[in-house]
Structures are given as C-alpha cells and as structure tokens.
Amino acid sequence: MSVTLTHPWLLWDLGGIHDCLSFAPYRSGFVTAHHIAWREVRNADLPIDFDVIGWLNGEVATHLPRPQDSIAMLTSRDIHFHHHHRAEIGDTVAEALVTLGLSNAERIGTRRLAAPEAYGTINIAARLNRHLTQSAMLEAMTIIAEARTTAVLESGYQVMVDGKAMTATGTGTDCITLACTADADRPETFAGLHTEIGHALGLAIYEAVRAGCDTYLNGEDTK
C-alpha cells in the first residue's frame, strides 16, 4: 500500500482489490476498488449549474491509472495537508487517510447554508485487513462517523447558528469511503465498538481526524 501526491491528486493504492462502501461522487455504493483518490479543486472551479459529476468522471478517466477500479472524492482542502494513522488491535489493522477543512462546518440538527466560497470538507478513507459482510460494513461506517464527530467536537471548533455559538460536529460535504480485504473465506458479521474491528477502526479514524483538526486550527491552511 502506498500514498502518492501528484497535485491536484492524492492517490491511495490499497495494494489489491478491496470490497468498498462509500458515498463518494465517483463510484459510490458497494463496489470493488484498488485505489481511493482525492481530487483537489478550488471553489471557483465549480460554479453553480456546473456538471461536477460529469467533469469528475472525465478527470478520473484521464488521470487515474485504473478508473474502473477507483473511487474518487473531491476536496477544496490543500491535499498536501493529509493525515494518516494506523491502529492495530489483536488481529485487526485499521488505517485512515484524511483530508480536513472546516470552513463548511455544521452543527448536527441545524443548517448554516455556507457560502460557496467556504466549501471545506472532511474526506475520510479507511482500510481494514478484515473481510466484512455488507451489514458489517454498514456498521463500520457508523463507527467512522462516530469517530469523526468525536474528534471534531473535541477540537472545540465553533460555528454561529442563528446568532448562537455552537460546537461543530462535521461539515456539510463530508465524505467517507471504507475498504475491506476481499480474499477471506468467512466474512466478519459484526464491527461494533465491542469488537476488535470497531476498536481499531474508531481509533485510526479518531487520531487522523483529530490531527487534521489540530493542523487546521493552527492556521497552516484554512480552507
């Protein structure tokens, strides 16, 4: 497995075909993939009424080595600021690769309707060395979301909602991709917090997202 940054692309080579689940703009849902990619964009590159999905499909087809085996996400965060964390619990190894900006931050249950020029986001990719059923992958996605939210809450980043300061819980354009090995005979059926899988996955995501929050709040980049 390797991570390659060739601006404006950040590419995670998973080292082989994996079972994946995501809501990424390129090849979402339950698919198989060998690569997970981030495409950095400037907000000015995506005007209102622009066919973003069609444009991204073309970018992937032109620039990625195996478009049919890739998942791609979009971010306005400078992709030089990416954060990796690896957690090993028992037989489970979880890895997280995260880009994070908070200019589009939201508080759950509210809506700020951020201006287009402020579309920062949290893009998370996670890899597990375990084979999961589809229902376990759905459970694992909830662990990723919980870990992200915990890290953002603990960062203390504030948003104004109806004149009131509230602690952010994420951004309005977050994206998550989960990749699991696809070569085991017997898939795992559970991935909750009481399992090694949930423990390792939650730890890897939390540490990577928290590192992203700290970098952002230290002012190294503010998109």
In 3D, which of 156, 174, 173 has the Cα closest to residue 165? Answer: 156
Residue 88 lies in a domain: yes
Residue 55 lies in a domain: yes
Residue 222 lies in a domain: no
3-state SS, residue 203 = helix
Residue 223 lies in a domain: no
What range defines the domain where residue 93 resides? 2-217
Q: Is 70 exceeded by the pLDDT of residue 117?
A: no
Distance, in Å, from the CA atom of 178 to the CA atom of 165, rounded to the nearest integer, reads: 33
* Cis, peptide link before residue 8, omega less than 30° from 0: yes
Distance, in Å, from the CA atom of 155 to the CA atom of 168, rounded to the nearest integer, reads: 9
Residue 116: what pLDDT? 60
The one-letter amino acid code at 53 reads I
| Mean predicted lDDT score pLDDT of the chain | 93
Query: Residues 103, 45, 172, 195: what is their CA dihedral angle, to the nearest 10 degrees?
Result: -100
Asked if residue 140 lies in contact with residue 197, where contact means CB atoms within 8 angstroms, the answer is yes
Residue 92 lies in a domain: yes
Residue 145 lies in a domain: yes
Q: Is 80 exceeded by the pLDDT of residue 221?
A: no
Query: Which residue intervals of 44-182 are DSSP H helices?
Result: 52-63, 134-155
Question: What value does the mean pLDDT take over residues 64-71?
Answer: 96
Q: Is 80 exceeded by the pLDDT of residue 48?
A: no
Number of domains forming the structure of the chain: 1
Distance, in Å, from the CA atom of 3 to the CA atom of 77, rounded to the nearest integer, reads: 17
More confidently predicted of 113 and 37: 37
Asked if residue 14 lies in contact with residue 127, where contact means CB atoms within 8 angstroms, the answer is yes
In 3D, which of 72, 81, 125, 129 has the Cα closest to residue 101? Answer: 81
More confidently predicted of 213 and 119: 213
Distance, in Å, from the CA atom of 101 to the CA atom of 104, rounded to the nearest integer, reads: 8
Q: What single-letter DSSP state applies at residue 132?
A: B
Extract the tokens encoding 28. 């979402």
CATH of the domain at 110: 3.60.70
Residue 118: what pLDDT? 59
